[in-house]
Amino acid sequence: MPRISARELALRVLELVEEEGAYANLALNQVLEEYQPGKLDRAFATELSYGTLRSLNTLDWVLAQFVRKPLESQTAAIRNILRLGAYQLIFMDRVPPSAVCNEGAEMARRYGYPGSVGFVNGVLRNISRRAKEIKFPEIGHNPVEHISLRYSHPPWLVERWLEQFGPEETVALCRANNEPAPNTVRTNTLKLTRDGLAARLREDGLTVRETVYAPEGLHIEGFFSLGSLAALKEGLFQVQDESSMLACRALMPRPGARVLDSCSAPGGKTTHLAQLMENQGEITAVDIHPHKLKLLDENCSRLGINIVKELAGDARELPEKLHGWADFVLVDAPCTGLGVLRRRPDARWRKKPDQFPAVVRLQAEILAGAARCLKAGGVLVYSTCTITYEENLGQVKNFLKLHPDFLLEDLTPFLPESLDTEGTMAGGYLQLLPHRHGMDGFFIARIRKKG
């Protein structure tokens, strides 16, 4: 396989996303696997492709001020070469502008059309000279447009957050979404302690620091790829964000219990629940996609977990034999994913407000279906990786209204009090936010069925 530059790797990722509808993380993995770049090129290509995709509306707005014809009239290759160049000039101070312009022109020579070299070179050099003159709309005059363009989020989403959080927090949230997410792993406490895992990973040359709230978590840096780490292959850890770990701790099933995980694959939370149960008891892990249950099975095998039974099925219509079966139920519901935008750089442009009603209906049906499986006196945790009222607290309130034999239960015995920035944990729920808590946006509610 011929070697290509990091900028060309990023260009290939952008083309896969734009022309083939690929998800950014899958496109990046495909390109890195195909070309096997070195560590520095790998990191640079990741920053270029993810950063450009996060900033698409801002980059296109800037470019529109420097090109006469609409970007849409250009070929996909030239359009994305310009975006990559603009991203480096505007957001990457450590990259020399001369290198950006020269490399952009060279890519235009390889992937463009006759005359595109001079065009790309001219546009990028013009942006380089006038970058400091670019003025965004004033926040006082048009806060939606200012935040949308300054921090690269869809206007409809900014408008929604302004109503929910106000200007200051909306800016903070958008900023947090534009920061790279940490690489967070959960110690497999069935095999070793967090300190033991940290020591092992440091011996392997990684930079390691403990998560603030989850006692099993570590943030890790300095590896080539997760798949290359021997500690992963040995089952010493599982990749999982800290907020996701907290959802399992909010349920906290006891050893020997019966647990239903209604939307389980690929198994991050399922295997965490098994750890909390000390691999004693029984977990029925349900997922509507049979092929995803294979990932769960592989994770259980790698981690040394043998109490999980997979069940391919729809959580809205679970088998009657499971009704009243579980001591604990986890409903980690499908959602709009607005709490994890920092992990999915292209996701903010794929989300549409008209998607919400169908998602909310699906969540309600899954929650009702899973709740049928809970014993009297049992506990259900409802969680999502989003930050909207209708998918979170609104969903829980509607469920409780329709199911008077359920009630919210105090979360303070299970989660650190310092998480409770709004004083809601005693009331049974918690909204985690990237800019407040330094982790993925997540909603957690603990609900008990009356005995």
Percent of the chain with pLDDT over 90: 94
Whether 314 is in a domain gets the answer yes
Going by C-alpha positions, the residue among 401, 337, 340, 341 that lies closest to residue 367 is 401
Whether residues 161 and 202 share a domain: the answer is no
Over the stretch 81-116, which tens digit does the pLDDT of each residue have? 999 999 999 999 999 999 999 999 999 999 999 999
Domain boundary among 156, 177, 198: 177
Whether residues 316 and 417 share a domain: the answer is yes
Angle of CA points 242, 247, 249, to nearest 5°: 90
Over the stretch 241-297, which tens digit does the pLDDT of each residue have? 999 999 999 999 999 999 999 999 899 999 999 999 999 999 999 999 999 999 999
Whether residues 169 and 190 share a domain: the answer is no
Please report which residue ranges of 238-282 form alpha helices under DSSP H: 242-251, 268-276
Bridge partners (DSSP) of residue 384 are 443
The answer, yes or no, to whether residue 308 has pLDDT greater than 80, is yes
d(CA 155, CA 67): 23
Whether residues 301 and 221 share a domain: the answer is no
Contact assessment for residue 227 and residue 172, using Cβ atoms and an 8 Å cutoff: no
Domain boundary among 97, 114, 133: 133
Question: How many CB atoms sit inside 10 A of residue 2's CB?
Answer: 4
The H or E element containing residue 417 is none
Radius of gyration of the chain (CA): 24
Tokens found for residue 423: 């004083």
Whether residues 228 and 257 share a domain: the answer is no
Over the stretch 111-156, which tens digit does the pLDDT of each residue have? 999 999 999 999 999 999 998 889 999 999 999 999 999 999 999 9
Averaged pLDDT for residues 333-362: 96
Q: How many domains does the chain have?
A: 4
Judge residue 20's burial from the number of C-beta atoms within 10 Å of its C-beta, 0-12 exposed, 13-18 middle, 19 or more buried: exposed
Whether 378 is in a domain gets the answer yes
Strands of 211-302, DSSP E: 217-221, 237-239, 258-261, 282-287
Q: What is the pLDDT of residue 2?
A: 67
Whether residues 194 and 165 share a domain: the answer is no
DSSP-based three-state secondary structure for 30: helix
CATH for 222: 3.30.70.1170
CATH for 389: 3.40.50.150
Query: Containing domain of residue 397, as a range?
Result: 244-449
Q: Is 413 left (phi over 0), alpha (psi -120 to 50) or beta?
A: alpha
Domain boundary among 133, 151, 167: 133
The active-site residue out of 248, 300, 373, 385 is 385
Angle of CA points 325, 326, 331, to nearest 5°: 125
Question: How many CB atoms sit inside 10 A of residue 418's CB?
Answer: 9
Distance of CA 415 to the CA centre of its chain: 22
d(CA 274, CA 201): 23
The answer, yes or no, to whether residue 48 has pLDDT greater than 80, is yes
Q: What is the pLDDT of residue 224?
A: 84
d(CA 154, CA 353): 10
Whether 33 is in a domain gets the answer yes
The answer, yes or no, to whether residue 173 has pLDDT greater than 90, is yes
The answer, yes or no, to whether residue 405 has pLDDT greater than 90, is yes
Phi, psi of 75 (to 5 degrees): -70, 160
Whether 138 is in a domain gets the answer no
Over the stretch 175-190, which tens digit does the pLDDT of each residue have? 999 999 999 999 999 9
Locus of tokens 């919210």: 408
Whether 38 is in a domain gets the answer yes
Judge residue 129's burial from the number of C-beta atoms within 10 Å of its C-beta, 0-12 exposed, 13-18 middle, 19 or more buried: exposed
Whether residues 109 and 251 share a domain: the answer is no
Whether 42 is in a domain gets the answer yes
Over the stretch 416-448, which tens digit does the pLDDT of each residue have? 999 999 999 999 999 999 999 999 999 999 999
Bridge partners (DSSP) of residue 408 are 447
Locus of tokens 């279906």: 369
Whether residues 94 and 40 share a domain: the answer is yes
Q: What letter would DSSP give residue 111?
A: H
Q: What is the pLDDT of residue 1?
A: 56
d(CA 226, CA 23): 19
In the annotation, is 335 catalytic?
no
Whether 1 is in a domain gets the answer no
Whether residues 311 and 338 share a domain: the answer is yes
Locus of tokens 């519901």: 333
Q: Tell me the C-alpha to C-alpha distance, in Å, between residue 385 and each of 319, 331, 341, 344, 365.
A: 27, 12, 10, 12, 18
Contacts of 86 (CB under 8 A, 6+ apart): 59, 62, 63, 124, 127
How much is the mean pLDDT over the chain? 96
Whether residues 322 and 407 share a domain: the answer is yes
d(CA 291, CA 95): 43
The answer, yes or no, to whether residue 227 has pLDDT greater than 90, is no
Whether residues 311 and 433 share a domain: the answer is yes
Whether residues 230 and 376 share a domain: the answer is no
